Structures are given as structure tokens and as C-alpha cells.
Chains A and B, each alone.
Chain A
Amino acid sequence: MEQRLVDEDLARVMEPVATANGLSNRYYTDRQCFEAEKERVFFDNWAAIGFAKDVPENGDAMPLTFLGQPLVVIRGRDGKLRVFQNICRHRGMILVREPGRIRGAIRCPYHSWCYDLDGALKATPHVGGPGHNTHAAIDRDALGLIEVRSHVWRDVVFVNISGDAPPFEEAHEKMLARWREFDRPLLHSGADSSFKLEVATNWKLAVENYCESYHLPWVHPGLNSYSRLEDHYHIEEPGAFSGQGTLVYRQLRGDENETFADAPGLGEKWDTAAEYIALYPNVLFGVHRDHSFAIILEPRDNASTVEHVEIYYHDESSTGPERAALRAKNTAQWRVVFEEDIFVVEGMQEGRNAVHFDGGRFSPAMDSPTHMFHHWIATQLAR
């Protein structure tokens, strides 16, 4: 009975936008739904867990917990970034506790089995008895760290924990093609371009809100003074991403009228266009001629999400000290915009305690990118 109800709910979400309901309350409040989502939405797809800039040098390691999974991101001696389960193959001890540089090997703090940066098991001290460091039963070659499939795009580290998703380039072929012009190194200047927001909401509401421009005149009146609703267009790629674009992007100017330098070689469209895309499941990307950003949504629980915001520039002249003031202004401006959204995503979460709510409706004209996201979630959950 319970199972059928869930299926009927999802079937309503998958109707055309004009007749569809949104996902019902349980997908925002119920523990079992959260667990199902963890497996089918996050582990089975390419989920974003962190930023490559946070492991800049060979040997850098960054432990993190994503949806309960202990992971460690390591840049190897070959410069390649890898993600491993952050556990020892001996008794499953957590290996790396603090971010930092690994000089030689990763030594498990329990019985000191040692692993190389590429995950290979290098040493098993006393495993054959005191002073005997081998044992016939312990095949080192078979006991390296367990690697998780990973891929870096636009500095975001994605993982496919199940190992079953198509390769990233295939799964997100359309996304990669859409922004190919921006395919160049993203430059990050550090703390002045980085912040996080802890929000009492379900991560999906942050995606839903990001996808649509409908709320701009009401929630971001400042943005809207130069960016009118009719200057926005929908971006929709079923099964992969959705969002919005603007045709009237204006560069930020400093006190001396200075601007950030453009990414070289951009087409004319980008003189005034900017695009804001939610790449399913949990990254919100933005691109402009002179800067980009990425927001990773870290679901802590049904009603708790951390938004990790990182702003990037496209030219070295933008990340030096002479642009520090303009960068501060840009970061502050984005912070205002993202903070303006907090009361709505928290308010919608609170609203999902209302027992008679039916998931709501969508404006066929304005909400189709949001519905596209719902449709994708429903498709993942109904598989």
C-alpha cells in the first residue's frame, strides 16, 4: 500500500508540466525517501563532492564525508586527482583525518599499514609476527585503497559511487558542448572568493529555486533593476540539466571603472549573455564573460544543506592584488543574491510539513526548468 502511494506520487510528477504536481512532502521530510535518494540520485549518478583547487599540490589530501561516505581526495605524484574510500583495508579504520600534505605514504593510525598516494598498499608492518612484514595470506597487490570513480570538470570533483553511471563525458556530453567556449583553466584567488551558507532546507529546493527566473523581480529586486524577466530564457536538457540564461549581463565595475578581463575567444553572444545551470544532481554553475562560479549543494539531512560557493576568474590579471577590491565587491554582490534566496528555500521546506500539500503546481510558462528537475528526480526514484 505504502509502495503504491509513492509510485502514484512520482507518476504525477512525471506528467507534462501543465498538469504535473511537484514532488510530495515525503521527498523533503521522510528519512526513507532520503535514503532512497542517496542511493539512486547521488550514488548512481555523478555527484559533486568538492573542489580540485583544495588539493593544489601533488601529495595534497582532503578527507570529507559525503552523505555519510568517508572519502579522501588525493593529488598523486603524477598530478592526477583520485578519490578513495577513506578507510584502511585491514580493519576499516579511517585513514586521513585532516587535510594536508602527504610527504611519503599514508600511514593508518591503527596498525600502520601504509599506502602510496595512488592507493597501492606499500607496507604491512608485523603482519607476519613481530618484525616480519609479509604473510602469505596478505596479498598487497589486492589490498590497495578502494578507489571511487571520479572526474573533474570546471574545478568540481564529481564521483560516481556505484560505479555504474556512464562515463562523465558521455553522461554530460550536452553540458560539455554547451560551454565548450569556457573550457580553460579557472583561476581562484583564495578566501576572498569562497564562502558557504548553511541553510535549513532540503537540497532539492535550492536546485528548484536556482533553475527559474520567475522569482527574480520579487526576491532579487536589485538584480531585476537591470535584468528584467523578459531578458531571461530557459535552459533545458532533459535528464541532465536545466536553468536560466540572461541576455543583459553587465560587467561589474570598480571605483575607477575597472572590470575583470574576459575569457579569450568567446563568441559575441557572451558580450551580454550569462547562464545559470543546475547540473543534476547537486551543482549550480554560473558563467559570464569575466567570471564563473560553482555552488556545490551538500545535503546533510532532509532539512539541512550546506551551499559551498566558489568564484573563479578567467584571466590572471583578475586574481592579482590590483583586483582585490573588485573581487571583494563581486563576492559581496553574489553573497547578497544567494542570501536573498535563503528565506524562500527555508520557507518552502517549512511548508512541506503541511499535511494537505500536494506537491504544488508549476507555471507552464515560467517553471519548466524546475519541473524538468523534478521529472529527473522522479525518474531516478522510480527506476
Chain B
Amino acid sequence: MPLPGPAQPLDRLNGAVIAAHEAGDGMRLAGLYGEAADRFAEDGDIASACFFYTQAYIFALEQGAPEAERYAAVLRRHGRL
């Protein structure tokens, strides 16, 4: 699936995301995706933000990380969860 939204903030995170995927570091993935999502949200790109909040939410949920609740709340606010 092609990733939605402008590529720029993603490019900067891309390498870090791939490395975290390879290392199986779910906590780091949740953080990186959350960061990307926040940036899209700041730019007002809700579609892209919700895509990345979803990614962040899932990894945080898997890790039992408390941030999962923050991501879930944003998604819920946008009717995405």
C-alpha cells in the first residue's frame, strides 16, 4: 500500500523506522510513528496523521505501553477507532 501524505517528514524518519522494524523494537516504533503522526496533525493533514497514529497505537498496544491510550484517544476523536 502506498503511504499517504507528503513524503518529507517521513523521509527523515524512514531510516529509523526501518532500523526499529529490523530490531523488532516495538517501543521505538510506537514512538517514531507517534512522532510522525504528531507532525502530520500539526500540518492539519488528518488522513496521514490517523494513519500514523494507528501504527503508533498498535505497537504501543502490543508493548502494553501507556501511550497507547493517548493514540487511541486521538483516533477516537476523529472517529477512527
A interface residues, Cβ below 8 angstroms from B: 103-107, 112, 114, 122-123, 125-126, 130-134
Give the complex CA separation of A134 and B79 in angstroms. 9
Partner of A130, one of B47, B59, B61, B65: B47
**Neighbouring A residues of B57 by C-beta, 8 Å:** 123, 125, 133
The verdict on A125 contacting B54 (CB below 8 Å), with A131-B47, A133-B75 known, is yes
B23: chain A residues at CB < 8 Å are none
Which residues from chain B sit less than 8 Å from chain A, CB to CB?
1, 4, 47-51, 53-55, 57-65, 68, 75, 80-81
Which of A105, A123, A125, A134 is B64 in contact with, Cβ under 8 Å? A105
SS class of chain A's interface: helix, strand, loop or mixed?
Answer: loop
A133, B62: Cβ atoms closer than 8 Å: no
CA distance A122 to B61 in the complex (A): 9
A64 to chain B, nearest CB (A): 22
Chain A residues closer than 8 Å to B48, beta-carbon distance: 131
Given A103-B64, A104-B65: A131 and B58 interface contact (C-beta under 8 Å): no
Q: Return A193 CB to nearest CB of chain B, in Å.
A: 32
Q: Is the CB of B68 within 8 A of A130?
A: no
User: Chain A residue with minimal CB distance to B59?
Assistant: A107
Given the known A-B contacts A130-B1, A130-B51, are A103 and B62 also in contact in the complex, defined by CB atoms under 8 Å?
yes
A112 proximity list for chain B (CB < 8 A):
58
CA distance A104 to B60 in the complex (A): 8
Those 6 A-B pairs whose CB atoms lie nearest each other, nearest first = A104-B64, A131-B50, A103-B64, A131-B51, A107-B62, A105-B61
Residues of B with C-beta under 8 A to A134: 80-81
Bound CA–CA A107/B68 (angstroms) = 14
Q: Which residues of B contact A130 (CB under 8 A)?
A: 1, 4, 47, 50-51
The residue on A at minimum CB distance from B65 is A104
Within the complex, the shortest CB–CB distance from A135 to chain B, in Å, comes to: 11
